[in-house]
């Protein structure tokens, strides 16, 4: 089955700096890659997603890039703010299947 | 509109007891997923429903775990003869369709503690 690896497990950045979280996947059939943000004690919230027919997608300060050849995708957060502090999860799924494979999460801390 | 609703929000029970966790998905969402999240860990897939059918039960950790969905809406996850290792947050998510390529919307979860 699919295996999703996520790095780093923890990340600290100064407010205003950029943060990058990387995920790799193993199954070339995976074609949908969402990213979720989970604040302490709260539900995971979808923040951005990308499909395999697109190489990059941006939404204000958040962007995701996908390299299908290398089977990796990354989350980029620019101009980080303290409220960006949370755990971020990547996931991959195969469109013909039904299971989402999640990474182990990255705990991001933005230092004011 | 209302999001995914889960109840109870917290459940404390003694080892060996049975528990039932409930998920009410977003209206119109045909796909429903159950996950387990242990403290500081990622999301462990348990089971997926498309309508009332569960085509993928591969994630259920043992035969003490079962789930059903009725009317294409509410789902219950039942854990029989609970063990301490069952302690975790149980998250439910729903999406418009299955197929694994639609955004999932999560509930707040049920925090289960087995004494």
Which positions in chain A touch B49 (Cβ < 8 Å)?
none
HSE (CB half, 13 Å, CA atoms) of A38?
29
Task: Assess B25–A contact: CB distance below 8 Å, yes or no.
Answer: no
Q: Which of A90-99, B26-35, B38-47, B93-102 has the highest mean pLDDT?
A: B26-35
Look at residue B40 and tell me whether its pLDDT is greater than 80: no
Higher-scoring residue by pLDDT: B56, B87: B87
Count other Cβ atoms within 10 Å, centred on residue B36.
23
pLDDT of residue B58: 80
Alpha carbon of B8: minimum distance to chain A alpha carbons (Å): 15
Residue B84 contacts A where some CB pair is shorter than 8 Å: no
Collapsing DSSP states into helix, strand and coil, what is residue B50?
strand
Beta carbons of A20 and A84 less than 8 angstroms apart? no
pLDDT (0 to 100) of residue A54 = 86
Residue B48 token pair: 């997926």
The predicted pLDDT at position B98 comes to 64
Confidence of residue A7 (pLDDT cuts 50, 70, 90): very high
Question: Hey, of A42, A44, A57, A101, which one would you mutate to test binding to chain B, going by the most B CBs within 10 A of its CB?
Answer: A44
Contact flag A95-B101 (C-beta cutoff 8 Å): yes
**Angstrom distances, CA of residue A19 to CA of A13, A71, A84:** 7, 20, 10
First to last CA, chain B: 37
Pick the residue from chain B with its C-alpha nearest to A91: B43
Q: Is A48 in the B-facing interface, judged by CB distances under 8 Å?
A: no
| Beta carbons of B101 and A34 less than 8 Å apart | no
Query: Is the Cβ of B99 closer than 8 Å to some Cβ of chain A?
Result: yes
Flag whether pLDDT at A104 surpasses 80: yes
Reported as a single tens digit per residue, the pLDDT across A29-64 is: 899 999 999 998 889 999 999 998 889 999 999 999
Assign B77 to helix, strand or coil: strand
Name the pLDDT band for A98 (thresholds 50, 70, 90).
low
Query: Is the pLDDT confidence value at A89 over 70?
Result: yes
Provide CB contacts within 8 A for A5, sequence distance 6+. A23, A24, A25, A103, A104
């Amino acid at each position: 089955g699919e295996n999703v690896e996520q790095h780093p497990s923890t990340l600290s950045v100064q407010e205003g700096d950029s943060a990058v979280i990387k995920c790799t996947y193993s199954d070339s059939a995976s074609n949908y890659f969402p990213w979720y943000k989970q604040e302490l004690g709260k539900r995971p919230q979808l923040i951005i997603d990308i499909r395999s027919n697109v190489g990059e997608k941006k939404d204000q300060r958040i962007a995701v890039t996908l390299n299908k050849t290398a089977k990796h995708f990354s989350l980029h957060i620019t101009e980080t703010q303290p409220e960006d502090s949370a755990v971020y999860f990547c996931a991959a799924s195969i469109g013909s299947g039904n299971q989402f494979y999640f990474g182990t999460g990255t705990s991001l801390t933005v230092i004011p | 509109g209302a999001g995914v609703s889960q109840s109870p929000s917290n459940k404390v029970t003694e080892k060996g007891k049975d528990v039932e966790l409930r998920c009410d998905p977003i209206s119109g969402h045909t796909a429903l997923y159950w996950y387990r999240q242990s403290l500081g860990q990622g999301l462990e897939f348990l089971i997926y429903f498309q309508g009332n059918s569960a085509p993928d039960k591969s994630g259920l950790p043992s035969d003490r775990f079962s789930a059903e969905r009725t009317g294409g809406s509410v789902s219950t996850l039942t854990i029989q003869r609970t063990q301490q290792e069952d302690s975790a947050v149980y998250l439910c998510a729903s999406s418009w369709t299955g197929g694994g390529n639609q955004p999932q919307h999560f509930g707040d979860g049920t925090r289960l503690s087995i004494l």
